């Protein structure tokens, strides 16, 4: 038996749902069958593990955004803020209305600007850096972090969220 499985077995002796779930998941992933009638406990253990991993993901995303913003503000002292809108549209011409964080169009210092790929101006460089920071943060993650129908503004003092009115 390998060390990972031995650690999981030892942890499961505590009978904590998360430890039992981790062991059950590992055994299933290795092809071991579950005992009949044990589905409820397995589901509960997996749900607890999902909740724990979701909380860890949100904490990692917050840290990633804070550290990335700190680097941007240090590299570009003239930048006072960057922001983006995120919302679910109320109407999509018959298509499903789907949440989106408009990070590709981040505003710098409250100014909306659109630059071509070949633009080398300082403003274009800053916007590309901000967009590069935000791209790894999925719509699902940004929705969980900041909510729907929001303007998210990042400054050296922190992250501020305001409700956003749109059509």
Predicted confidence band of residue 35 (pLDDT cuts 50, 70, 90) = low
pLDDT digits (tens, 9 = 90+) for 86-98: 999 887 777 888 9
Split into its structural domains, the chain has a count of 2
Q: Note the pLDDT of residue 116.
A: 82
Residue that is last in its domain, among 75, 96, 114? 75
What number is the average pLDDT over the span 139-149? 95
- By percentage, how much of the chain surpasses pLDDT 90? 51
User: Which 3-state string (H, E, C) describes 24-83?
Assistant: HHHHHHCCCCCCCCCHHHHHHHHHHHHHHHHHHHHHHHHHHHHHHHHHHHHHCCCCCCEE
Do 93 and 24 lie in one domain? The reply is no
Predicted confidence band of residue 153 (pLDDT cuts 50, 70, 90) = very high
Q: Note the pLDDT of residue 1.
A: 62
pTM tops 0.75, yes or no: no
Range of the domain at 67: 1-75
d(CA 27, CA 60): 28
Do 71 and 30 lie in one domain? The reply is yes
Predicted confidence band of residue 141 (pLDDT cuts 50, 70, 90) = very high
Do 27 and 59 lie in one domain? The reply is yes
d(CA 81, CA 147): 20
Measured in whole angstroms, the distance separating CA 122 from the mean position of its chain's CA atoms is 28
Do 69 and 138 lie in one domain? The reply is no
Q: Over 90: is that where the pLDDT of 63 sits?
A: yes
Beta bridge partners of 113: none
Residue that is last in its domain, among 38, 54, 75? 75
Beta bridge partners of 163: 150
pLDDT digits (tens, 9 = 90+) for 78-136: 999 999 999 998 877 778 889 999 999 899 999 888 888 888 999 999 999 999 999 99
Do 96 and 47 lie in one domain? The reply is no
Q: Note the pLDDT of residue 34.
A: 59
Q: Over 80: is that where the pLDDT of 140 sits?
A: yes
């Amino acid at each position: 038996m390998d060390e990972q499985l031995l650690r999981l077995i030892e942890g499961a002796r505590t009978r904590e749902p998360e430890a039992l779930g981790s062991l059950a998941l590992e055994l299933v992933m290795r092809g071991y069958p579950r005992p009949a009638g044990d589905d409820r406990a397995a589901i509960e253990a997996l749900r607890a593990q999902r909740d724990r991993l979701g909380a860890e993901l949100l904490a990692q995303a917050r840290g990633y955004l804070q550290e990335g913003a700190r680097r941007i503000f240090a590299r570009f002292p003239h930048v006072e803020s960057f922001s983006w809108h995120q919302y679910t549209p109320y109407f999509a011409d018959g298509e499903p209305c789907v949440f989106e964080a408009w990070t590709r169009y981040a505003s710098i210092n409250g100014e909306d600007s659109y630059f071509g790929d070949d633009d080398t101006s300082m403003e274009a460089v800053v916007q590309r850096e901000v967009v590069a920071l935000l791209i790894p943060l999925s719509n699902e993650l940004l929705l969980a972090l900041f909510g729907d129908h929001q303007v998210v503004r990042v400054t050296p003092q922190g992250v501020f969220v305001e409700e956003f009115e749109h059509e």
